[in-house]
Amino acid sequence: MNYGFVIDQRKCIGCHACTVACKAENDVPVGVFRTWVKYIEKGEFPNTRRHFSVMRCNHCANAPCVAICPTKALYTRHDGIVDFDARRCIGCKSCMAACPYDAIYIDPDEHTAAKCNYCAHRVDVGLQPACVLVCPVQAIISGDLDDPSSTISRLVAREPVRARKPEQGTKPKLFYIGADEASLVPESTLQPSQYMWSEVHPWEQDKVDLLSLANASQHYRNGNEVEAAASATSVSAAPRTVYNVAHEKPWEKLVSGYLWTKSIAAGALIVAGGLLGLGLLSDIVVRLAAPLVALVFLALTTVLLVVDLGKPFRFLYILTKPNWTSWLVWGSYVLLGYGLVGALWLAAWLAGLPAVLSGLAWPAMAFGSAAAIYSAFLFGQAEARDFWQTPLLPLHLLVQAVVAGSAVLLLIESLGGFSGRSVLAVILASSIVVHVLFVVAEIVVPHPNLMVSQSSELIVRGPYARRFWGLAICGGCALPLALLAAGTLAGFGIAAVLAVLGLLFYEDVWVQAGQAVPLS
């Protein structure tokens, strides 16, 4: 058995019967949707046309939501249906970040993830999904794709079907007949400030501020060719979304804060361990302040992670019901190991055991580097967001940790008047320069596809530009470098504060802009 859907957009009349039936059958709360109908309009008056497209879970054969879910709350059944168990869900929203189809939402009543599950309770007793049953024009066809005699199998074999985002490698099992290109590629349409019957939800306002495709495509390369199709289309004639439903960003400010606190926590012992291991610096800041900073900010990181969960009291499910394909699970164990090393470091100093302390220098660097880097693999599992799929991210997160760690230690050195300021200042200045180079490589250079290009445009010239250029680059990089070059005690302290704050603004911009391009 291998259940899937075919939606014949040649027949669809946009009546929303499927949406209503889905909500009634599955008791879906107001404001969230398991299936919905999107409207796209193309052309210039009077030569215009409206296209309908039915959106929902694609029940992927290689479902990224299943791989990233840390507690196996999402799973693939033997019949190919991707189902969910709300009793195991912790509300981490990682499945939402992984789904390229905007198909998963957080239930506002239960605070757990939910989505189309093919009406599994009906299928199990031999009935069709509710949406199939109520469609007045039989535009929705369900069935076993592996059965050559089934209607759906014959349609897929006979008709020129298309799937959404097959390049993601998810192997979707929702196929469209007669769907317009603009309906299936949301980043190719203009996003209005209001729809036919409603305003765009506030959490999607930055999607509305996407620059025109002509602007974004200037930085989009396909081989050696500039993607010029969008530039050739006037804004007035470009396809536009005229009706859609709201989709919440899964990862908001708390995730940005978690990246920032984790950078400080990891960087403290990366820098201190390296200096101690090389014998370059052994004063009280490295021996005592570094593990204290690491442990305090590691605790803050844990608090932010737990508070961001829809079900925070289920946090331990990550450890007691782990899905070992999820980097949320691996990251939790990495942070536990790092916390243990930090605690041993602090205990060795308090017990006056310099030999043990020296022996912990390199393990501290190793665990600190792992704590800094693992988030890159977690964001890599968030396959919905191509902007985050850069091979440079692990090294960039490591560099950001060095920036944060050296800045905090330099600030403590400056306030205490200790002797290691010049060494830490050199480390901070060098890491800031490398950080800027990574930013240029990730954001400013040409991009592999239009989604990445649009996310970058939002940062460089869109609604995030002021925070990016003014606070992250000028305030967080250029000004600290100038103050470090001046070489004054006060300048070192101010430079350290600005560098840490600049990193916070950069990480927030990076997280938010990565989710701003519409997926559906």
Task: State the CATH number of the domain containing residue 87.
Answer: 3.30.70.20
9 plus 131 within the same structural domain: yes
DSSP reduced 3-state for 110 = coil
pLDDT at 484 over 60: yes
Tokens of 274: 């390296």
The reported pLDDT for the residue numbered 199 is 66
Tokens of 316: 């331990």
Instruction: Give me the mean pLDDT over the 322-327 stretch.
Output: 96
Question: At residue 189, what are phi and psi to the nearest 5 degrees?
Answer: -115, 155
- Domain membership flag for residue 218: no
C-beta of residue 230 within 8 angstroms of C-beta of residue 238:
yes
Best CA proximity match to 289, nearest among 345, 335, 331, 339: 345
Better-scored residue on pLDDT, 420 or 306: 306
Best CA proximity match to 185, nearest among 101, 62, 99: 101
- Domain membership flag for residue 506: no
DSSP state of 127: P
CA-to-CA dists, residue 260 to 221, 276, 430, 492, angstroms: 32, 24, 19, 21
Distance CA 210, CA 516 (A): 8
445 plus 320 within the same structural domain: yes
Q: What is the largest CA-CA distance in the chain?
A: 84
- Domain membership flag for residue 135: yes
390 plus 263 within the same structural domain: yes
- Domain membership flag for residue 208: no
- Given 190, 224, 245, the domain boundary residue is 190
Instruction: Give me the mean pLDDT over the 221-231 stretch.
Output: 39
264 plus 176 within the same structural domain: no
281 plus 159 within the same structural domain: no
- Domain membership flag for residue 479: no
Q: Which CATH number fits the domain that encloses residue 414? A: 1.20.1630.10
- Given 146, 165, 190, the domain boundary residue is 190
CA-to-CA dists, residue 135 to 22, 120, 128, 139, 142, angstroms: 11, 18, 12, 7, 12
CB neighbours of residue 261 within 10 Å: 22
- Domain membership flag for residue 459: no
pTM reported for the whole predicted model:
0.91
- Give the rounded percent of residues in the chain with a pLDDT score beyond 90: 68
CA-to-CA dists, residue 214 to 240, 287, 294, 359, angstroms: 14, 55, 46, 57
pLDDT at 225 over 70: no
> Would the CA dihedral through 166, 172, 176, 179 be positive or negative?
negative
Instruction: Give me the mean pLDDT over the 417-432 stretch.
Output: 83
Better-scored residue on pLDDT, 210 or 89: 89
C-beta of residue 260 within 8 angstroms of C-beta of residue 56:
no
Instruction: Give me the mean pLDDT over the 93-119 stretch.
Output: 95
pLDDT at 212 over 60: no
Instruction: Give me the mean pLDDT over the 492-508 stretch.
Output: 96
- pLDDT, tens digit, for every residue of 342-394? 999 999 988 888 888 888 889 999 999 999 999 999 999 999 999 999 999 99
Best CA proximity match to 50, nearest among 14, 78, 1: 14
Note down the domain range covering 71.
Answer: 3-190
pLDDT at 445 over 80: no
314 plus 433 within the same structural domain: yes
- pLDDT, tens digit, for every residue of 116-126? 999 999 999 99
- Given 399, 431, 453, the domain boundary residue is 453
- pLDDT, tens digit, for every residue of 136-181? 999 999 999 999 999 999 999 999 999 999 989 999 999 999 988 8
Average pLDDT of the residues of the chain: 88
Q: What is the CA radius of gyration of the chain?
A: 26
Q: In the sheet where 140-144 sits, what is the strand order?
A: 140-144, 3-8, 174-177
- Domain membership flag for residue 495: no
Instruction: Give me the mean pLDDT over the 314-338 stretch.
Output: 96
- pLDDT, tens digit, for every residue of 1-20? 999 999 999 999 999 999 99
Count: domains in the chain: 2
28 plus 101 within the same structural domain: yes
260 plus 184 within the same structural domain: no
Distance CA 338, CA 319 (A): 16
